[in-house]
Structure 1
Amino acid sequence: MEGGPDSACVLGIDLGTTSVKVALVLRTEQGLVVAESCSRETQAYTSSVEAGLQGMEQDSRRIIRALNECLAALPQQQLQRVSHIGISGQMHGIVFWKRDQDAVVSGCKWTEGATGPVFEPDKVSHLVTWQDGRCSPAFLSSLPLPQSHISLATGFGCATIYWYLKKSPDFLKSYDAAGTIHDYVVAMLCDLKKPLMSVQNAASWGYFNSRNKSWNTDILKKSGFPVHLLPEVGDPGSIAGRTISAWHGIPKGTKVGIALGDFQCSVYSCLTERTDAVLNISTSAQLTISMPSGFQPPETPDPSSAVTYFPYFDGDYLAVAASLNGGNVLATFVDMVAQWTAELGFQIQESAIYAKIIKAALGQNDSHLSVHPTIFGERHTPEQLASVTSIAASELSLGHVTRALCRGVIENLCSMLPVQRLMETGVRRILGSGSALARNEVLRQEVERILPFPVVYGKDVDAAVGAAMVMFHRK
């Protein structure tokens, strides 16, 4: 995009795991600034009919409702100036929808809302999220080996399709299109004849070769996989199409970018130097570095590797230690303490417990207690559980345990992507972000104790802003 302070603006959208966020980003003389933003909790989790307790699904209608609520809250005058829309969302997951017989994607109904035309899902399945657990290690081992650098895991789109194919084939007969939830939104906005997916999202589904940017169709066909459900694939940062209708006041014909991974957009929102590493601790935790230009990942997956190479932009890759154990570990610990106090006949709010255990840990500068906090397992070791060792009678206070737990979260990340590897890659600085890191001084202290680099906080990652920035920097 070109122009000064009066130029058009870009709308960034992120369809996250628990909430939807939208951001209007403008170019000013000071650079890119967020003019308006809004977020809404989706409250979309719902039960899974087919997978039972192992399933983790969300109601697609509630996600789109939250998106509509966010856009309706933004100033109409600003929305009318939107020239590009960038969309990101939770990766790996899959949603199915039904197309019209003329091969034009339907999947929704356009209606007139208070702020102009809006669309609502129609003939659309639940979103099976990245957290879904229906594909057991035994089930995954029964599937063909992918020709991909990324190991297949439960919650990946192709793994979920295989599960339906083998466990509930009638389900698949109801649909003829599939994508991530953000691919779905792009398809609806642009009325795409066939879903279009970025390399970033395709790699997160499994059975995708990032080197030649193609699905493993030969491998999939041999096992009876319904390859007609696989979207077409395009480069991240490219334009998927134009809006077929005005949308909450956004003009008809507005350019829409191909849907992007929320992780890549989050990194894009703050990473400016290749010598920076991004440490993000929210519900989960990630430690990320940029790989040198020209790097290519291995041709075959290494299931035991704790580092995953995520396609980024312009053919580059990010090396990511993506831990399933972050702020959720501390939240589980707080919940445990709350249950114990309730069983003892006392009622204390969890927010009060959190504040007290952090205060107690600040009073304990060290603890020899060792907590391996992988209570949720890890993708490269799904059956690994948490453990506590070096237990001494003198270090059983809440302060000692909380300090050790916080240290364990950081040490676990560093066991996945060691400090030596960071040094060899040329890392000079850590950009710290994420809600858990922001609210927990003990976590920050342990970061600075374990990582021998300057740490800069306040570089909060924001996928909605990152998605908008991508559109500013490309056409």
Structure 2
Amino acid sequence: MSFLGIDLGTGSLKAAIVDEDGREQAVSGVAYALDTPHAGWAEIDVQTWWRALVDALARLPRDLRDGVRAIGLSGQMHGVVLIDASGEAVRPAMLWPDSRALDLLDAWPEPQPNPVAPGMAGPLLRWIVRHEPRTARRTRWALQPKDWLRVALGGALVTDASDACATALADPAGVWDTVLLERLDIPREWFAPLAPSYAAAGALSQQAARALGLRAGTLLATGAADTPCAALGSGLAHDGDALLTTGTGGQIVVLASEEPAALKGLHRYRAASDHWYRMAAMQNVGIALERVRGWLSYEWADAYREAFGDAAGKAGNNATHVMLNPSSGLTFLPYLSGERTPWLNPQARGGWLGLSLEHTRGAMMRAAFEGVAFSLRAGLDAIRASGAPVAALKLAGGGSVDARWRQLLADALDVELHAVDCPNAAPRGAAILGGLACGHWQARDLAVLAPGTTRVAGPRGDAALAGRYARFVDLYGRVEPWFGGTMHREAR
């Protein structure tokens, strides 16, 4: 007996099979690219998702597929998929990096229970109503990505609180805000009823089963958004458990047994279990480091070596190996695509300040690593200001495997870091939801299912680094007016 978890991500789809003890047995993934038909748009044909799913399942061993008892779903948060009464998409899916609705955010005046971004379903649907009335007339359902996938598999038309509460169209508990929908002229009937993430939500159709090499009638769980699925798959089970994920962006998630207090710049959402979670969401982690690496013409191994190579900060005979000197005055703002936590400024931008003729590529790369670490610290500071003391973080994500980078993160964040022994946390969390939906596991089993962790770094009390972080925050405050934003001073 086994359980299948499917994670419908922004740039790839992953499928993982776990056994009856929650151990990963096989995993596969298929990457795809977003479409940008206009500047600031981010779309994808849903058939691209379906083809990726078929391909990913074909790569899993047949005998393991034969043993799948239930399927759970995880999906990228925000965005929206519009389908007609027959279940066909009426246009490409619009995704969270989309900024076309930036000028429509005035419909969500402060204060809001959660920050509102242009790529959330609410602003995107407001844009559809205004600019694509023919699409609006054809629409029967407005679904989150993982909910579209479940319907395509033959499952029920439902959603869960973890996705609904992040649309900017529901209250923090995930209940649809009928008054807001009416004010925005968005039809209330577009939105699916709520069900628990771990509830049964239909069964795999004959057609989908044939395409995927699975058994027809296999139970489908409602599923959850990818961040709460990753938290579940990483073993967050108790109040105060915390997770740092580093990928294209970065998220810091802290589980809470009760609804957290609201704080500007910080998200508070429902978890895949009956918990809540605080979340700091930073947009520029891997995406910023990858762009800097390209600008500086580095291979990744060289980028790490030259950024972290000489702890004394002296060039010696090879100036390209110099580590950023604490007194060099070089600072990098990583906000290449705007920022969410804590600044809430989609117009924020980045770059180096303090460059001199003496600086090398290695120093510029080191400053980029520090700038990204400092942006994560600014997000963690917002969480701490909300009343959640965080002294340790579980660590997940493909962008956090280098030991030198991990140490910099521990120093900059002032936390112990414990790497999670689970490289595919989101699909594993989705698979666990499948096991809960069919009754194999109960909520009380979640702590036992937590994967192992290894302490990989701890803070060393680097006073010079703390001083550079203070300069980083001060610099952002000084240059933010150039971008048209207003710094949220309380986030400092």
* Smaller-chain TM-score bracket: 0.7 to 0.9
2: CA distance, partners of 1:179 / 1:47 = 21
**How far apart are residue 152 of structure 1 and its match?**
2.1
Question: Structure 1: 5+ residue runs without aligned partners?
Answer: 1-7, 101-105, 108-122, 339-351
TM-score (norm 2): 0.78
The residue type equivalent to 1:306 in the other structure is G
Q: Which runs of 5+ in 2 are unaligned?
A: 312-323, 440-492
The question of 1:19 aligning with 2:12 is answered: yes
Residues 325, 375 of structure 1: 8 Å contact kept? yes
Q: Distance in 1 between matches of 2:108 and 2:265?
A: 21
1:334 paired with 2:300, answer no
Q: Which residue of 1 aligns with 2:197?
A: 236
1:249 CA displacement: 3.6
Q: Does the 8 Å contact 2:165/2:175 carry over to 1?
A: no
Cα deviation digits, residues 275-295 of structure 1 (max 9, x gap)? 54212111111122222x223
Residue 430 of structure 2 aligns to a residue whose secondary structure is helix
One-letter amino acid matched to 1:397: T
Q: Residue 446 of structure 1: which of 393, 402, 408 is its match?
A: 408
Residue 249 of structure 2 corresponds to which residue in structure 1? 284
Counterparts in 2 of 1:423 and 1:125: CA distance versus 1, 3 Å: closer
Equivalent position SS for 1:286: strand
Query: TM-score with structure 1 length normalisation?
Result: 0.81
Question: In 2, distance between residues paired with 1:65 and 1:316?
Answer: 34
Of residues 38, 42, 50, the one that matches 2:28 is 38
Task: Give the whole-Å Cα distance in 2 for the aligned partners of 1:54 and 1:146.
Answer: 24
SS in 2 for 1:12: strand
Deviation at 1:14, TM superposition (A): 0.6
1:179 matched to which residue of 2?
Answer: 143
Question: In structure 2, what is the Cα distance between the partners aligned to 1:272 and 1:95?
Answer: 29
* C-alpha deviation, 1:223, in angstroms: 3.4
Give distance in 2, aligned partners of 1:146 and 1:157: 18
AA matched with 1:198: D
Between the aligned partners of 2:152 and 2:259, the Cα distance in structure 1 is: 35
| Equivalent position of 1:80 in the other structure | 66
Partner of 1:363: 309
Instruction: Tell which deviates more after alignment, 8-17 or 248-257.
Output: 248-257
2:2 counterpart residue number: 9
- State the shift of 1:473 in Å: 3.8
Q: Which amino acid aligns with 1:325?
A: N
Report the AA paired with residue 35 of structure 1: Q
Indicate yes or no: 2:156 matched with 1:198: no
Counterpart position of 2:283: 324
Q: Please state whether the residue corresponding to 1:152 is helix, strand or coil.
A: coil
Aligned residue number for residue 169 of structure 2: 207
Paired amino acid for 2:198? G
Specify the SS of the correspondent of 2:301.
Answer: helix
Contact 2:13–2:29 under 8 Å retained in 1: yes
Deviations 1:391-448 (A, max 9, x none): 4544x1122121121111111111122299289635342222211212x444223112
In structure 2, how many angstroms separate the alpha carbons of the residues matched to 1:359 and 1:296? 41
2:378 paired with 1:415:
yes
In 2, the alpha carbon distance for the partners of 1:96 and 1:207 equals 16
Task: Verify: 1:59 aligned to 2:51, yes or no.
Answer: no
Aligned partners of 1:364 and 1:399 also within 8 Å: no
Percent identity between matched residues is 22
Report the CA distance between 1:77 and its aligned residue: 2.7
The DSSP-based 3-state class of the residue aligned with 1:463 is helix
Q: Give the structure with the higher percent strand.
A: 1
Structure 1: distance between partners of 2:237 and 2:416: 14
SS in 1 for 2:185: coil
What does residue 434 of structure 1 align with?
397
Q: Which residue of 2 aligns with 1:376?
A: 337
Whether 1:397 and 2:387 are equivalent positions in the alignment is no
Is the CA contact 1:23–1:464 (under 8 Å) kept in the aligned structure 2? Answer: yes
CA-to-aligned-CA distance 1:354-409 (integer Å, 9 cap, x gap)? 32222111224353322221121113121221143344544x11221211211111
Alignment of 1:85-164 (within 5 A): 85-100=71-86, 106-107=87-88, 123-136=89-102, 138-141=103-106, 143-145=107-109, 149-164=113-128
What SS class does the counterpart of residue 54 from structure 1 fall into? coil
User: Closer, same or farther in 2 for the Cα pair 1:416/1:453, shift >3 Å?
Assistant: closer
Is the CA contact 2:373–2:413 (under 8 Å) kept in the aligned structure 1? no
- CA deviation vs aligned residue, 1:316-375 (integer Å, no higher than 9, x gap): 21111110010111111122224xxxxxxxxxxxxx533222211122435332222112
* CA distance, structure 1, for counterparts of residue 111 and residue 384 of structure 2: 26
Q: 1:299-310 residue pairs with structure 2 within 5 A? A: 305-310=264-269
Aligned-residue offset at 1:87: 0.6
User: How far did residue 217 of structure 1 move?
Assistant: 1.1
Task: Answer yes or no: is the 8 Å Cα contact 2:108–2:116 preserved in 1.
Answer: no
1:276/1:391 Cα in 2 relative to 1: closer, same or farther (>3 Å)?
Answer: farther
RMSD of the alignment, in Å? 2.4
Following superposition, the deviation at residue 78 of structure 1 comes to 2.3
1:277 maps to a residue whose letter is: A
Q: Which secondary structure state, in structure 1, belongs to the residue aligned with residue 15 of structure 2? A: strand
**Residues 261, 386 of structure 2: 8 Å contact kept:** no
Equivalent residue, structure 1, for 2:352: 388
Q: Supply the AA of the counterpart residue of 1:10.
A: F
Q: How many residue pairs were aligned?
A: 415
Shift of 1:461: 5.0
Change (3 A) 1:400 1:56: same
Q: CA deviation at 1:231?
A: 1.7
The secondary structure found in structure 2 opposite 1:53 is coil
Instruction: Give the residue type in structure 1 aligned to 2:22.
Output: L
